[in-house]
Chains A and B, each alone.
Chain A
Amino acid sequence: MKVRGMLAGVVAIAMAASACGGGGSSSKSKIFTFANIEPEHLIPGNTNDAYGLNVEDALFDTLMRLDANGKPVPEEAASVATTDQKVWTIKIKPGLTFHNGEPVTAQSYADAWNATADATNAWGNNYYLSTIDGYTDLNPDKGKPKTHTLKGLKVVDPQTLQVTLSQPFSQFPYVLSFLGTAPLPKAAFTDLKAYEQKPIGNGPFMMDGSWEHNRQIKLKKFPGYKGPRPAKSDGVIFKTYASLDAAYTDLLAGNVDIDTQIPAAKVPEAKRLLGKRYLSVPSGTMDFLEFPLYDSRFDNPDLRKAISMAIDRQAIVNAVYNGVFKPTGSLLAPIVPGYRATACGVACTYNPQQAKQLFTKAGGFKGTLHLMFSNADPTYEQWMTDVANQLKQNLGIANITFDKVQASDYITKLTDHKATGPYRSNWTMDYPSPEDYLTPRCSKPSRSGYDGTACEALIMKGNAAKTPEEGQQYYQQAEDLVLKDMPITPLWNWQEQAGYSSHIGNVHADPYVNPLVHLDQVTVK
């Protein structure tokens, strides 16, 4: 205690000298802290990393948002109507403003979307607007774009935006709930670089000072907010952490109020120490094992099924992820409407005898089997080692080696069809629609070399369907088709582990919001 007194003295002097109180929350203002990792971007059209989206969830509102069941409901929109799934008329609620007082109009959305779809800006969410008519004019395969505005966007009046798509797309309201489609104020376009350091949004919180890189992002309550989710606290500070372990330690020490990324290895300890303040949140993220179909040794679907059936998913999840991830037999995450737990059936169920029979029937496997993954996370190698052991034991494949690839090279190798064997594949959810999960499996160019023409046709039918039920039916047929051909086998669905401090309350977990908890609802004691 002596040391502490001495140090406290030093700190008092240091703080008086710098007149900087740090990020601690004082007793007067009701501000809480959220453990985050340094975002890549803070302009919605350019942000597709989870940490940037966490901050933008507090800063921006979109036309739609997702309700507790993952269904799109209006947020800034008064109504979203269509008769043919192709021409959409969007009415925006009157009286909404940005943090600087500028009204949110149809033009704010049109400006933001034009900038996002414009290849010259090269923004990260460019692809999400590819369904809008005129997108290809802004994104020619070669050369510079001829125009910088989307033909399919029409500002009818300040409160009405008419969007024409190039093809019917029933899932468009989901896209409208994605933060990448948030509006931008006029002020953004005078200097986008400066804007990104202090974004002016239309959400329940506004910037309090500039983005302090690698340290924190301070937000305060937006007093002029008129949307459906007003803030119940005075502000939130996104504290930047270098690692998930450091964030977790700080949560235990009481230095940060919410941590939604507790590492799987710490789960038993977190449950014990946090008690009711520990939350397990379902996730939309999936891990797959994908096969390089361009390698003739993996031509036979029976061989791929045999490998799939020889993997004991539950045992691996128990050993590597403390049993928190959920083994799955579907290409969709359980939180996606239309998910069927047993979509894959026996082909994704552990059955060593049948796997061996199928393997023999398919003619076995000649040569060395390479298993490929990136070095981005040490757990990949751990579970691949388990997969290798199970394949050796259950199928009798004698020679199995690992191909551990530099993270910076992994995606390039997969895109260029240079995989040496079955490899780790991963998908994070953009919006809870089967379409979001299935399109990348079937569309061209395909990473696995799978010919998804038939599957793509079914997805198109689902996209054009008049009712969600009708659409669902086509998406399920598409999923069945992919699982039957098995260019990819589902392994497990992630779970997020969150914890919060006793300093805050009203913490509601929700897998459909980016920060996994409703930041607007959090109260500070």
Chain B
Amino acid sequence: MWRYVVRRLLQMVPVLIGTTLLIYLAVFALPGDPIRVLGGDKPMPPAVYNALRHHYHLDEPLIVQYGKYLWGLVHGDFGQTLSGQAVSDVLKTDWSVTARLALTAWIFEMVVGIALGVWAGRRKGGVADTVVLSGTTMVIAIPTFVLAYSAQLLFGLKLGWFPTAGTDDGWPYSYLLPGIVLGSANLAYVARLTRTSLVENFRSDYVRTAVAKGLSRRRVLVRHTLRNSLIPVVTFLGIDLGSLMAGTIVIEGIFNLPGIGGQIFNAIQIKDGPTVVGIATLLVLVYLFANLVVDILYGVLDPRIRYE
């Protein structure tokens, strides 16, 4: 198993180099000149323009620019944003915010989602099943930003249960409401996935055997059915952690959480290469690690799965 993990980790290296190159090329291909954006409507003397282009290596061919970027990366230098800040500093502060938000949402959708799924799946077509089915349909149907603004208005502004915006109250208080909103759509998927998987497994032979042995309903559910049913749910949750981090931009904007979503949006707008590549590379890393963890978890959930 350790050989397997090491091999997977080694495979990440070429994937990473490939993605940084792709993203670098994509940013480079964006129309426009970042230095002109810096100047805006104000006049920028040619001497200043040239100095800035030189400073950000924009006066060099693309391949040299990318080479210098990679060389810096090897030395732990992520480059500079167009306002002269170290990208690594930006990553540190912004990633911690987004990671907290995504984790809050993820824990919420996992705990509540699986619980709802189990509740609904115990009896197909029962009251619980109908309630969960219609409830989740509603949540999926409402766009996230509508949910976000309504929750902010109702629970933040009118009732005052949660802070309306910002991170002043720290984790978890500041992150609870945005986390719940962010996780709510995927919560619906988790609940339905758990429910369907449970319902299916209840029909299988080994469950019938367990019931015939005279085991309690509870034991059949927890020991025999649920564990097996969680494999698709775990796959979904693993990949979802990555997409949660990448998909926080709307929520971050509404709840004023200074995370990577707003940062990468602004960076793309002004064509700030090093920032975009830095953030996106870390996103790729999160995806890769989440996938690895999911693959290892399969073995834990289903002992028949072996790693070479």
**A and B associate in one complex:** yes
Report yes or no: B257 in contact with A242, Cβ–Cβ below 8 A.
yes
**Total residues of chain B contacting the partner, CB 8 A:** 60
Number of A-B contacts (CB under 8 A): 170
Q: Mark A230-270, 1 if CB is under 8 A from B, else 0.
A: 00000000011111011101101101000000000000000
With known contacts A240-B258, A255-B163, A408-B271, A15–B170 Cβ distance under 8 A: yes
With known contacts A215-B167, A409-B32, A415-B36, A242–B47 Cβ distance under 8 A: no
- Interface stretch, picked from B3-11, B37-45, B127-135, is B37-45
Report yes or no: B55 in contact with A22, Cβ–Cβ below 8 A.
no
CB-CB under 8 A from B271, the residues of chain A are 408
Q: How far is the CB of A412 from chain B (nearest CB, A)?
A: 4
CB-CB under 8 A from B157, the residues of chain A are 249, 252-253
Report yes or no: B169 in contact with A406, Cβ–Cβ below 8 A.
no
Q: In the bound complex, what is the Cα–Cα distance between A376 and B265 (angstroms)? A: 12
CB-CB under 8 A from B262, the residues of chain A are 242-243
Report yes or no: A376 in contact with B165, Cβ–Cβ below 8 A.
no
- Interface stretch, picked from B18-26, B215-223, B247-255, B294-302, is B247-255
**A127 interface residue (CB < 8 Å to B):** yes
Report yes or no: B173 in contact with A14, Cβ–Cβ below 8 A.
yes
Report yes or no: B270 in contact with A406, Cβ–Cβ below 8 A.
no
Report yes or no: A426 in contact with B41, Cβ–Cβ below 8 A.
yes
Which chain B residues in 101-116 approach chain A with CB under 8 Å? none
With known contacts A139-B45, A406-B32, A408-B37, A246–B172 Cβ distance under 8 A: no
Report yes or no: B89 in contact with A213, Cβ–Cβ below 8 A.
yes
- Interface stretch, picked from A68-76, A118-126, A201-209, is A118-126
Name the residue on B nearest A252 (C-beta): B157
CB-CB under 8 A from B84, the residues of chain A are 41, 193, 196
With known contacts A249-B165, A407-B269, A409-B32, A139–B172 Cβ distance under 8 A: no
**Quick one: which of A130, A242, A408 contacts B31, CB cutoff 8 A?**
A408
Report yes or no: A241 in contact with B256, Cβ–Cβ below 8 A.
yes
Name the residue on A nearest B55 (C-beta): A122
Report yes or no: A215 in contact with B164, Cβ–Cβ below 8 A.
no
Q: Mark A42-57, 1 if CB is under 8 A from B, else 0.
A: 0000001000000000
CB-CB under 8 A from B256, the residues of chain A are 241-243, 246-247, 250
Report yes or no: A14 in contact with B171, Cβ–Cβ below 8 A.
yes
Which chain A residues in 86-135 approach chain B with CB under 8 Å? 119-124, 126-127, 130
Report yes or no: A120 in contact with B32, Cβ–Cβ below 8 A.
no
Report yes or no: B46 in contact with A141, Cβ–Cβ below 8 A.
yes
With known contacts A3-B161, A127-B43, A411–B37 Cβ distance under 8 A: yes
Name the residue on A nearest B92 (C-beta): A213
Report yes or no: B173 in contact with A139, Cβ–Cβ below 8 A.
no
CB-CB under 8 A from A23, the residues of chain B are 166, 168
Q: Mark B263-283, 1 if CB is under 8 A from A, else 0.
A: 100000111000000000000
CB-CB under 8 A from B156, the residues of chain A are 249, 253
Report yes or no: A145 in contact with B42, Cβ–Cβ below 8 A.
no
Report yes or no: A411 in contact with B83, Cβ–Cβ below 8 A.
no
CB-CB under 8 A from B169, the residues of chain A are 11, 14-15, 22
CB-CB under 8 A from B263, the residues of chain A are 214
In this complex, the member of B36, B55, B253, B269 whose beta carbon has the largest number of chain A beta carbons within 10 angstroms is B36
Q: Mark B220-264, 1 if CB is under 8 A from A, else 0.
A: 000000000000000000000000000000001111111000110
With known contacts A242-B253, A242-B258, A122–B170 Cβ distance under 8 A: no
Q: In the bound complex, what is the Cα–Cα distance between A249 and B152 (angstroms)? A: 9
Which chain B residues in 198-222 approach chain A with CB under 8 Å? none
With known contacts A122-B55, A411-B40, A130–B164 Cβ distance under 8 A: no
**B137 interface residue (CB < 8 Å to A):** no
Report yes or no: B45 in contact with A130, Cβ–Cβ below 8 A.
yes
Name the residue on B nearest A214 (C-beta): B258
**A505 interface residue (CB < 8 Å to B):** no
CB-CB under 8 A from B37, the residues of chain A are 407-408, 411
Name the residue on A nearest B168 (C-beta): A22
Q: In the bound complex, what is the Cα–Cα distance between A440 and B172 (angstroms)? A: 51
CB-CB under 8 A from A410, the residues of chain B are 32
With known contacts A242-B256, A255-B165, A122–B36 Cβ distance under 8 A: no
Report yes or no: A48 in contact with B254, Cβ–Cβ below 8 A.
no
Q: How far is the CB of A45 from chain B (nearest CB, A)?
A: 12
Q: In the bound complex, what is the Cα–Cα distance between A430 and B41 (angstroms)? A: 12
With known contacts A120-B51, A427-B41, A246–B170 Cβ distance under 8 A: no
Q: In the bound complex, what is the Cα–Cα distance between A425 and B41 (angstroms)? A: 8
Report yes or no: B43 in contact with A4, Cβ–Cβ below 8 A.
no
Q: How far is the CB of A428 from chain B (nearest CB, A)?
A: 7
Q: How far is the CB of B40 from chain A (nearest CB, A)?
A: 7
Report yes or no: A408 in contact with B32, Cβ–Cβ below 8 A.
yes
Report yes or no: A213 in contact with B85, Cβ–Cβ below 8 A.
yes
Task: Report B's interface with A, CB cutoff 8 A.
Answer: 30-34, 36-48, 50-52, 55, 83-85, 89-90, 93-94, 97, 152, 156-157, 160-173, 176, 252-258, 262-263, 269-271
- Top 10 A-B residue pairs of the complex, sorted by shortest distance between their CB atoms: A409-B32, A214-B258, A408-B32, A22-B168, A119-B47, A139-B47, A246-B256, A409-B31, A122-B51, A253-B164
Known: A4-B160, A7-B162, A247-B256. 4 other contacts (CB 8 A): A10-B173, A14-B171, A255-B166, A412-B33
6 A-B residue pairs with Cβ-Cβ distance under 8 Å, sorted by A, are A196-B84, A213-B93, A215-B93, A246-B254, A408-B33, A409-B33
Task: Report A's interface with B, CB cutoff 8 A.
Answer: 3-4, 7, 10-11, 14-15, 18, 20, 22-24, 38, 40-41, 48, 119-124, 126-127, 130, 138-142, 145, 193, 196, 213-215, 239-243, 245-247, 249-250, 252-253, 255, 376, 405-412, 415, 425-428, 430, 440, 443
